[in-house]
Each structure stands twice: as structure tokens, then as C-alpha cells.
Amino acid sequence: MDNGIKDKVVAITGASSGIGQATALLLAGSGAKLVLGARRQERLEKLVGQIGEAGGEAIYRLTDVSQRTDLAALVELALERWGRLDVLVSNAGIGPISPLDELRVEDWEAMIDINFKGFLYGIAAALPVFRRQGFGHFVNVISTAGLKVVPLQSVYAATKNAVRTVAEGLRQEAGDKLRVTSVSPGFVNTEFADSMTNETVKAQIIEQRDRMALPPDAIARAIAFAISQPADVDVNEIVIRPTAQG
């Protein structure tokens, strides 16, 4: 029985841990062919090996989404190996949040480069391919931070809201052949705090994460749900939070 995922070629950024890794494992188990991108080669190699040992198909390329050429190469790898790309999951992101008064401008720039420009570079790489094919699906991992702006997260939320805005414009321009899905997770048990340069804020986020965060699998299931729908069904927005998150 067709599960809507089997044999689809899916590229995932930020695939070496957290939501990206969980999504890769879930989709591979459902028969997808995966093209994995991230900056940590050892983790990518281990993940590809794990998928292969379980009978799945996956390849990888070192990918820094702040570099447009890296996104182009990731998409090209899918075309070289399988001749098409069905889905691009734009998942890579960082969140070095802090009070604006601290003027951590380098952190701001990094969030813009990775969270927003990396998403745009994904569109630039995949959209022409999807148009030529006559099908394709953009899945964008955003954040509930863009839905509820709170102190310390101004710039982070701004990058996520920028993605949300462009994704909605993309959905409206996509026509009746392409699909666009935005998934906004709340607290998830990932390495999100690792990028934080303010140690006090980092400790606060880790405490909240350990207290109530969802496992990455919960977000992976939401992504798989959207991908598995028939071609004429476009799941546009999914918001998923821990029950305990306000």
C-alpha cells in the first residue's frame, strides 16, 4: 500500500542531529531516498550508515546553508543520484538568543545568514528544479518563536517570521503543482542551546528544555504527515508544542 513517502527523494538540511536526524530516520523507514546535508561530516557518515544498515537509502554532502553554492550542490546531488527531487526540508537553524542590550551583532548576523538566507538559498536551488519537473514540496521548519515574540528572542523571532512571510508568498506563487508546508515547533529536545553565547540564557533554556521539551520524533511525524498527503493536498501550517508550553 502506498504510504505517500516511499521512493520520494527528500533533501534535508541540518540533518546531523535533532529534528533533521529524526526526520531522516523516520522517512528512511518509510522508504524515502534521502539526501542529507549538514556541517558535521562524522555525524552524517554515522547517520547514512545507520540508515543503510536498516535497509534504507541515503547519501550526504557537507552543507553550510549560509553558502548558496552548498545548497545548490545538495540539490544537484539528488539529481545526479536519483534524477529528481521531490521534497526539500529546510531545517537547519541556530538560536543564539540574548538581550538586545548586549549588542551581540555577530550572533544576529549568524541567525540571519543561517535561519533566513539559508532558507532563501534553498528556494533558489530547488524552485527551478521543481518547476522543470512539474512537482515538488518545500517543507520549512520554523518555530513558535515567530508566533509569540518574547524577550531575548527578538532577532531569532524576526528570522523565523521572515521565513514564515516568504513561505506564504511562495505558497501563493507556487501554483497547482508545488506544495509549501511550514512546521512551527515549540520546545524540542535538541542541541538548540549549543549555539547560545550568553551562558545565563543558555542555562535557562536548557532547564526549560529538560523540563518539558518534545522529542524530535514528534516533529518528524508532523513533517512525514505533510509529505505523505496526496499531490492535490497541501498542508500549509503545522504548529506543534509541548502540552505544558504556554
* CA distance linking residue 12 with residue 4, whole number of Å: 17
Q: What is the mean pLDDT of residues 75-83?
A: 98
Number of domains composing the chain: 1
* CA distance linking residue 237 with residue 208, whole number of Å: 25
For residue 1, is pLDDT > 80?
A: no
* CA distance linking residue 66 with residue 51, whole number of Å: 27
Containing domain of residue 49, as a range? 9-231
Percent over 70 (pLDDT), the chain: 100
Helix ranges restricted to H, the chain: 18-29, 41-53, 68-82, 105-111, 118-133, 154-173, 199-212, 216-228
Q: What is the pLDDT of residue 245?
A: 85
Q: What is the pLDDT of residue 192?
A: 76
Domain presence at residue 127: yes
For residue 226, is pLDDT > 70?
A: yes
Domain presence at residue 23: yes
Domain presence at residue 76: yes
Domain presence at residue 38: yes
- Cross-strand pairs, 62: 38
Domain presence at residue 85: yes
**pLDDT digits 0-9 by tens, 132-159:** 999 999 999 999 998 989 999 999 999 9
Domain presence at residue 220: yes
| CATH classification of the domain holding 227 | 3.40.50.720
Domain presence at residue 2: no
Domain presence at residue 140: yes
Residues annotated as part of the active site: 156
**pLDDT digits 0-9 by tens, 24-62:** 999 999 999 999 999 999 999 999 999 999 999 999 999
Q: Tell me the pLDDT of the chain averaged across its residues.
A: 94
